Structure 1
Amino acid sequence: MLRKLIIICFCLVSGLVSGQKILPIFSPNQQLTLQVNRSLDGRLTYQVYYKSKEIVGLSSLGFVLKKPAVSLQNFTLLGVDTSSHNSVWAPVYGEEREIRNQYKELIVHGQSAEIRVDFIFRVFNDGIGFRYQFPEQTGFQHFIIDEELTQFQMTGDHNAFWIPGDYDTNEYTYQKTHLSEIDATKAAAAEKDIALTALIGPHAVQSPLMMKSAEGIYINIHEAALINYPVMHLGLSGLTFTSLLTPDAVGNKAYLQTPFSTPWRTILISDRAEDILASRLILNLNAPTALTDVSWIKPQKFMGMWWEMHIGKANWPLAGGKHGANTANVKRYIDFAAKHGFDGVLVEGWNKGWEDWFGNWKEDVFDFVSPYPDYNIDSLSAYARAKGLRLIMHHETSGAVTNYERRMADAYQYMVDKGINTVKTGYVGRIIPRGEHHDSQWMVNHYARVAEKAAAYKLMVDSHESAHPTGLHRTYPNWMASEAARGSEFNNAPTLGIIPEHTTILPFTRLLGGPMDYTPGLFHMSLNQFDASRTTRVRSTLAKQLALYVTIYSPLQMAADLPENYEGHLDAFQFIKDVAVDWDEKRVIAAEPGEFVTIARKARGRSDWFIGSITDENAREMTVSLNFLDPGARYEAVIYRDADTADFEKNPEAYVITKSIVTRNSKLSFRLQRGGGCAVSLKKL
């Protein structure tokens, strides 16, 4: 029931001037408390308590504007509104069929330097979200942000899972340290395999930032609904994080016009790691889609003519004699994908321009409509269509975003004409307009423009090298997945690669913002298959590669390896064929960041369940209760587990497949070997 309270009582307002608490607001389950305060000099701060324990200490709010040149830190209180909300909504696709959106809301109306600002707080059972709103007002319309002064004061030297703050990439390896030990400069210096970096400083990190206190409280800081605003990084001083917005070429952060609302700043809090992974707070803070017809948006599973370029069998350019995207080779992928029931085949290196793109910082490299002469797109599109699948287009922009924007309409119409309905975009390299970063306001707006333009042509988008996701797949459901982190392609990176713990951290960090195109499914772990000089290898067992289809969510899932590498393991490949890409229900069975993750999912519109369980470099025993299965029903469990001799370094491709009949009273026990995993298919009999 809606409740509104307008504070007009003179004695209360005058009391606040002397520095008092404005109003506490509690989560629906009463476990979380948000306290907003106004200090003697008019500064607004907030605190967050979980089960009566302070989790976020006194943290300031405000802005410094460049135009007009004013500081918005000392506020006169104009009033307070409170309300509550409880509803259920259905995503177009996702990890659940229905999502509950329940919170208490507090809006503090303030004024500073004759500029009105509303502070909007929402308190959920699993965390809080807050944003700034600049309402339409006389005498204040256009403005430029110099700094956002949002703080997050931690109350202890927590363990943290972090990557260096960087305006151009989020492809770093995660670090595990106490807050006091964060050294982004040192961590970045160890990275030799990232194409472009723009490191912020020694004490800057990225969100989502995962932490765990000494008392066992899990805390995650991120943002939601990133629209028309730069990405927020976090600068640490002592135990206090302050927002660091990505600048443009002249140092400005955002060019805005009233009315305007910033993205939400989010804090997830629980004493159970599993609750962090189950949270839908970020998704709930995004606006529903404006699309009236979403029938054309379909989750899909596809093959990729992609990995062979990473391991030396082929290459993207036509020049050099190893061009992978030729008609005969792509037909081979289409045949394999069609035989095994896939929806599409991604083809990279199909178009002219690859000989002169990387590192040249120039426009007009690609026009996105000119295939190489050995790639017959018309015959391949028809061939794929006859076999019940489609090609997936690849648009590598080479960072020349202005070039891509000029050509999007022609490129998307070309896709429609060829019967192609999904595009993978890429932004490798320095951005044009020159001086922009991948995380700047201009680029954030570009990613949204791509989603909107693609929707006009009924096209689905998978973006790579884009800003971190913030739940916008609710608003733009055709923007189905992003990379935006260190993905599986880094298994080929010669320096650090993908260490086993990485995939146990991603669900607590990158995946909180939205689906990730991680590209799992590698079966051949030694990468000298076509180039004897390569010493890199995939640091995972084969069974773990299967489990990643469940633990790393995406409605666009690639089978990343080569057809010939699957041919020798078709019994294990069966799990990739069977596993769903759209879900009715998600159960987080057990999880600990940097150690292990076990998740069960129920396929959309079906009675089948799938389980994925992964570990770091340590072997461990896992037991999974099947109490989520239907009462009275029997299921065939097909278990794809590490063999007893499996080891991600010594024997990664050893696996065992067993079958049994189970019910909701059953428990499955299995051992995850070093760097290993287990995948389970549960089919109702």
Structure 2
Amino acid sequence: MLRIVTLTTGAGLAGVDFAASHGMQFIEFDSGWYGPEHSSTDATAPIPALDLPAVISHAAQKDIGVLLYINPLAMSDSDALFALYRSWGVAGVKLGFINDGTQAMTQQIISWVRTAAANHLLVDSHDDVRPFGFERTYPNWISMEGVRGNEHFPTATHNLPLPYTRNIGGPMDYTICYGQSRDQTTNAHQMAMAAVYYQPLNFLYWYDSPSKYANTANWPGLPWFDAIPTSWDESRTLTGAIGQYIAVARRKGATWYLGTMTNENPRTLAIPLSFLDEARGTYTATIYADGTPGTRPCTTPLTVSTRNVTPATVLNVSMAPAGGQAVILTPA
């Protein structure tokens, strides 16, 4: 999913086109689309700069869904609001500043999710929502934050415990920031998150606009994000140590996606590919790896290579400090 950073009609249309050309399913208009979120209580009309019906219509033609952000201040009548969004053709809502902890708030969140389900809306709840399993009861509740994600550019040491702790509780909206100069990790580390972390509604390129990626030659990691799914037929944790490193492989159809991440220590892992299907024989591995470490992790270049592998192959995965590796394994 792509967040539309600039809240205008033109940015929305461009975002739809970018999403469609890069294998994404949704765009999202974040806080501000109906006015200042901490003072405006009317989320029934967009700001003048945004022709929302035009964007939704264009998105429908491209098979892209549109999500809208809402602050609880504007949800005093969620029944009417969500019914209105359904009539507009909106695909879902992102509920901001949702801080649970009390029974009353938990029941309120569930009520919002039930109302959204009745109106065929997906829900992504943000901020301090603890995972408590209700996404199985209400499958439209597709994602939640409940994590210090990459909006805050945390360290690799922060990122490495998450697969073993927060993420085992349910979907984790981390907001991947590939290609950001403020990252404290390498680009390959950011890419690997899309396989390592379980998140059915991944926000990508959180702080950026499509124009940044117009020259695709400057962004060799884009094909990885274009290809990787967000739901899986099979998942395997191959190796790891809490807070230090991890390797996860996930399969969709016949294709496997392998992600590895390390903390601030450079590391080489020997990964047996015995999980591959022997009946399929040879696979083509497209490997997105750390290059020579830069002066800061985010300046470490990304290298791309291909090779043939089989289930008997042991893949040597070298990672720079705060680095990672992302590999697509496709039957040859």
User: Normalised by the size of structure 1, how large is the TM-score?
Assistant: 0.46
**Count of residue pairs the alignment pairs up:** 327
Q: Which residue of 2 aligns with 1:385?
A: 60
Q: Which residue of 1 aligns with 2:100?
A: 438
Q: Take 2:263 and 2:2, find their aligned partners in 1: how far apart are those partners?
A: 27
Q: Structure 1 residue 601: deviation in Å?
A: 0.4
Say if 1:640 and 1:648 are closer, same or farther in 2 by CA, change over 3 A: farther
Q: Which residue of 1 aligns with 2:29?
A: 347
Q: Which residue of 2 aligns with 1:116?
A: none
Whether 2:148 is the aligned partner of 1:476: answer: no
Query: Residue 394 of structure 1: which of 60, 69, 73 is its match?
Result: 69
Whether 2:114 is the aligned partner of 1:452: answer: yes
Q: Determine what percentage of the aligned residue pairs are the same residue.
A: 28
Whether 2:238 is the aligned partner of 1:589: answer: yes
Query: Residues 572-629 of structure 1: CA distance to partner in whole angstroms, max 9, x if unpaired?
Result: 10000111111011110111111111100011xx100000000111110111111011
Query: Residue 335 of structure 1: which of 14, 17, 28 is its match?
Result: 17
Q: Structure 1 residue 461: deviation in Å?
A: 0.5
Q: Structure 1 residue 544: deviation in Å?
A: 0.8
Query: Residue 413 of structure 1: which of 63, 74, 83 is its match?
Result: 83
Q: Take 2:312 and 2:188, find their aligned partners in 1: how far apart are those partners?
A: 25
Query: Residues 491-528 of structure 1: CA distance to partner in whole angstroms, max 9, x if unpaired?
Result: 2xxxxxx0111111111211121001111142132xxx
Give the aligned residue type for 1:560.
Answer: Y
Query: Unmatched 5+ residue regions in structure 1?
Result: 1-301, 307-323, 358-364, 429-436, 492-497, 526-536
Query: Residue 660 of structure 1: which of 307, 314, 327 is its match?
Result: 307
Whether 2:188 is the aligned partner of 1:540: answer: no
Give the aligned residue type for 2:78.
Answer: M
Matched residue of 1:345: which SS? strand
Asked whether the equivalents of residues 524 and 565 of structure 1 are also in contact (C-alpha less than 8 Å), the reply is no
Q: Take 1:521 and 1:579, find their aligned partners in 2: how far apart are those partners?
A: 16
Matched residue of 1:636: which SS? strand
Whether 2:254 is the aligned partner of 1:607: answer: yes
Q: Which residue of 2 aligns with 1:638?
A: 286
Q: Greater helix percent: which structure?
A: 2
Query: Residues 293-349 of structure 1: CA distance to partner in whole angstroms, max 9, x if unpaired?
Result: xxxxxxxxx11124xxxxxxxxxxxxxxxxx21111222211211222211111113
Asked whether the equivalents of residues 239 and 248 of structure 2 are also in contact (C-alpha less than 8 Å), the reply is yes
Q: Structure 1 residue 560: deviation in Å?
A: 2.3
Q: Structure 1 residue 355: deviation in Å?
A: 6.9
Matched residue of 1:550: which SS? helix
Q: Take 1:477 and 1:380, find their aligned partners in 2: how far apart are those partners?
A: 26
User: Normalised by the size of structure 2, how large is the TM-score?
Assistant: 0.93
Whether 2:41 is the aligned partner of 1:366: answer: yes
Give the aligned residue type for 1:352.
Answer: Y
Say if 1:354 and 1:651 are closer, same or farther in 2 by CA, change over 3 A: closer
Q: Take 1:425 and 1:514, find their aligned partners in 2: how far apart are those partners?
A: 17
Matched residue of 2:178: which SS? coil
Whether 2:5 is the aligned partner of 1:303: answer: no
Asked whether the equivalents of residues 67 and 92 of structure 2 are also in contact (C-alpha less than 8 Å), the reply is yes
Say if 1:355 and 1:444 are closer, same or farther in 2 by CA, change over 3 A: closer
RMSD over aligned CA atoms reads 1.7
Say if 1:651 and 1:411 are closer, same or farther in 2 by CA, change over 3 A: closer
Q: Take 2:3 and 2:204, find their aligned partners in 1: how far apart are those partners?
A: 7
Give the aligned residue type for 2:233.
Answer: D
Q: Take 1:377 and 1:383, find their aligned partners in 2: how far apart are those partners?
A: 10
- The structure with the larger Rg is 1
Whether 2:324 is the aligned partner of 1:677: answer: yes
Query: Residue 268 of structure 2: which of 614, 621, 633 is its match?
Result: 621
Asked whether the equivalents of residues 367 and 407 of structure 1 are also in contact (C-alpha less than 8 Å), the reply is no
Matched residue of 2:304: which SS? strand
Say if 1:651 and 1:391 are closer, same or farther in 2 by CA, change over 3 A: closer
Q: Structure 1 residue 665: deviation in Å?
A: 0.7
Q: Take 1:461 and 1:356, find their aligned partners in 2: how far apart are those partners?
A: 20
Say if 1:547 and 1:415 are closer, same or farther in 2 by CA, change over 3 A: same
Q: Take 1:511 and 1:550, find their aligned partners in 2: how far apart are those partners?
A: 12
Query: Unmatched 5+ residue regions in structure 2?
Result: none
Give the aligned residue type for 2:95.
Answer: T
Asked whether the equivalents of residues 461 and 478 of structure 1 are also in contact (C-alpha less than 8 Å), the reply is yes
Q: Greater strand percent: which structure?
A: 1
Query: Residue 155 of structure 2: which of 499, 514, 523 is its match?
Result: 499
Query: Residue 467 of structure 1: which of 129, 136, 148 is its match?
Result: 129
Name the stretch that deviates more: 372-381 or 334-343.
Answer: 334-343
Q: Take 2:190 and 2:300, find their aligned partners in 1: how far apart are those partners?
A: 10
Query: Residues 518-546 of structure 1: CA distance to partner in whole angstroms, max 9, x if unpaired?
Result: 11142132xxxxxxxxxxx2101011111
Asked whether the equivalents of residues 37 and 71 of structure 2 are also in contact (C-alpha less than 8 Å), the reply is no
Q: Take 2:31 and 2:37, find their aligned partners in 1: how far apart are those partners?
A: 10
Q: Structure 1 residue 647: deviation in Å?
A: 4.2
Give the aligned residue type for 2:199.
Answer: S
Say if 1:450 and 1:671 are closer, same or farther in 2 by CA, change over 3 A: same
Query: Residue 515 of structure 1: which of 171, 174, 177 is its match?
Result: 171
Q: Which residue of 2 aligns with 1:197?
A: none
Say if 1:631 and 1:355 are closer, same or farther in 2 by CA, change over 3 A: closer
Q: Structure 1 residue 650: deviation in Å?
A: 5.3
Whether 2:195 is the aligned partner of 1:550: answer: yes
Asked whether the equivalents of residues 31 and 70 of structure 2 are also in contact (C-alpha less than 8 Å), the reply is no
Asked whether the equivalents of residues 297 and 321 of structure 2 are also in contact (C-alpha less than 8 Å), the reply is no
Q: Take 2:193 and 2:89, find their aligned partners in 1: how far apart are those partners?
A: 30
